[in-house]
Structure 1
């Protein structure tokens, strides 16, 4: 068993392995960790496990080092899922043992694995004490079919009425590969929530790197942009990933029409699973997704900590960020859009 770094010569082999792995997600593709490293100024630490020349496991991994938010290894920052993929426990342990050694070598504070599913206990590195954080995030995934009427009927009655009301409004819906208008809406939306936004080039890089697998949807009400989302397509799954709206979006059902349109278009191209992404428990986004009939599945991320460190808590529900969030909401949008990318690179 050999652990080797991901480089240009091994990307095809990596993606070939991922293509045959049922547990793989959009975020396990070979291009993604390098893209994150380039856009945000971090270091790609991704590795493959090889046995007799064949790939038997992969671990996408990025090293973040910032003054404000510290030093961490994450699989994978700016992604909801990640972690190792392996053919068996031996390959998985080899990858995790390598990551644990890298934690000690780099003196990073934490190693974080963002798996969609909890890692089987036999896969966890022997001799290492892993911490599991649960109760913060949940993901929302639900089957869809190639019949719009059946998908609409699967939405709970009250929310279904809202979707129908939005459809009757005849809002203008545009699906393109244009990042700019959707980014503008998204940036305003996260500013209004008190969060820093990432750079627009991250939107652009996703669209350029994964042609046909990433698109943007813009909803206009009375000629004005009301809501927008950047959507990821993976195998038979669709994931509307970065969505936002203007303050009037809810009143005109722009969000509901937007997500319904994404669902219909995905079903028409053969998607059988709608992934509404992760949300923090107790938030409006969490409640919105439940209203659509999606059952939350808690996400349990694993952490390996340097001695004396605790699980990082860089999220808006942390009380110590309350004043900062309140102040951020009042920033002029151009200022927030200038400062945001300089802060968010350390949050991951």
Structure 2
């Protein structure tokens, strides 16, 4: 089994391999390589396992180096999913061992592998994140009736309030970024730059869009979505406080789900959430059941698994201070910090 690095000429066969692999995800696609390199400056190590000139596995990796949050090798940063895709155990083992070798060579603290499904044996694992996925029908009456009663009531209220959903691309980015940045500030989390979101929409022009819910031309809530195979994936979202009054959050996701169903998508991936948080309970309120993600670690220069999650109690005072800063300040400083919080 030969392990080599990704070359730009591999893009077509690499993405074809990801797409046909049963465990391949949107985040395994090669477009993320240049996107993260150009947006954040992190070095990539996209590994390919090859045998008889055929791809037998892939393992996308980035090194993220920060004096505040440590030095790591991650598959994949800023993504819900990552990890190894392989045809067999030999390819999987060879890719993992090469990643460990790179982690040691780079003198990094640890290797983090964000498996959606099958974890590797004998590696420590966190149970912090859960994913919410559900099959949807091509019949939107069935989809609506599958939503629990309380959420259906909120959707009807959004319809009664004459909310308007608008799909688009970069032309909606200014409105969306206001919603997005406000949401991150409210949570006390450093926000991504507008340029990063613009890069996403340009890189995945035919696989992404924005949806914004308006009331009388005022944006209330919005979401940046990905489309992969038969899945729609609402990923980054935001809302202003009056979204709750107008039922704009529930209406947002109904507008997305019903549009996706009409366009032939059959799985709604609500994305990951930390256990027992507001988004975790909101997704359950929609009738989605949580499934644990298997985030695993090879510890190179650490004795225990890292914890740079906002849920870590040692960050609570800093989070409360961040919430008190003016939004213009956090929008300026946040992108410089968040690049090191993968």
Task: Indicate whether the TM-score tops 0.5.
Answer: yes
Q: How far apart are the structure 1 equivalents of 2:52 and 2:20?
A: 18
Report if the CA contact (8 A) 1:44-1:61 is conserved.
yes
Question: TM-score, normalising length from structure 1?
Answer: 0.95
Alignment of 1:172-191 (within 5 A): 172-178=164-170, 179-191=173-185
Aligned match of 2:197 = 203
CA 1:185 to 1:209, structure 2 compared with 1: closer, same or farther past 3 Å? Answer: same
Which SS does the other structure have where 1:57 is aligned?
A: strand
Q: How far apart are the structure 1 equivalents of 2:270 and 2:46?
A: 27
Alignment of 1:25-104 (within 5 A): 25-104=25-104
Q: How far apart are the structure 2 equivalents of 1:19 and 1:278?
A: 21
Aligned match of 1:231 = 225
Report if the CA contact (8 A) 2:119-2:294 is conserved.
no
Aligned match of 1:288 = 282
- Once the two structures are overlaid, the 10-residue window that deviates more, 155-164 or 255-264, is 155-164
Aligned match of 1:24 = 24
Q: How far apart are the structure 1 equivalents of 2:159 and 2:64?
A: 43
Residue 162 (str. 1) matches residue 176 (str. 2): no
Please give the per-residue CA displacement for 1:97-146, whole angstroms capped at 9, x wherever unaligned.
1001111111100101111113253xxxxxxx521111x11110001011
Q: How far apart are the structure 1 equivalents of 2:205 and 2:338?
A: 25
TM-fit CA distance, 1:7: 2.0
Report if the CA contact (8 A) 2:135-2:267 is conserved.
yes
Q: How far apart are the structure 1 equivalents of 2:60 and 2:10?
A: 13
Aligned match of 2:246 = 252
The alignment of Structure 1 onto Structure 2 pairs a total of residues equal to 340
TM-fit CA distance, 1:309: 3.4
Residue 192 (str. 1) matches residue 186 (str. 2): yes
Which SS does the other structure have where 1:270 is aligned?
A: coil
TM-fit CA distance, 1:325: 0.8
Report if the CA contact (8 A) 2:19-2:25 is conserved.
no
Aligned match of 1:119 = 119
TM-fit CA distance, 1:307: 4.0
Aligned match of 2:258 = 264
- After TM superposition, what 4+ stretches of structure 1 lie above 2 angstroms from structure 2? 118-121, 307-310
Aligned match of 1:311 = 305
Aligned match of 2:12 = 12
Alignment of 1:142-153 (within 5 A): 142-153=134-145
Aligned match of 1:325 = 319
Q: How far apart are the structure 1 equivalents of 2:79 and 2:280?
A: 18
Q: How far apart are the structure 1 equivalents of 2:7 and 2:181?
A: 33
Aligned-CA RMSD value: 1.1
CA 1:63 to 1:308, structure 2 compared with 1: closer, same or farther past 3 Å? Answer: closer
TM-fit CA distance, 1:71: 0.5
Q: How far apart are the structure 1 equivalents of 2:224 and 2:302?
A: 39
Q: How far apart are the structure 2 equivalents of 1:45 and 1:34?
A: 11
Report if the CA contact (8 A) 2:110-2:302 is conserved.
no
TM-fit CA distance, 1:223: 2.5
Q: How far apart are the structure 1 equivalents of 2:130 and 2:225?
A: 19
TM-fit CA distance, 1:259: 0.5
- Once the two structures are overlaid, the 10-residue window that deviates more, 77-86 or 311-320, is 311-320
Aligned match of 2:336 = 342
Question: TM-score, normalising length from structure 2?
Answer: 0.97
Structure 1 gaps, min length 5: 122-128
Aligned match of 1:133 = 126
Structure 2 gaps, min length 5: none
TM-fit CA distance, 1:219: 1.0
Aligned match of 2:237 = 243
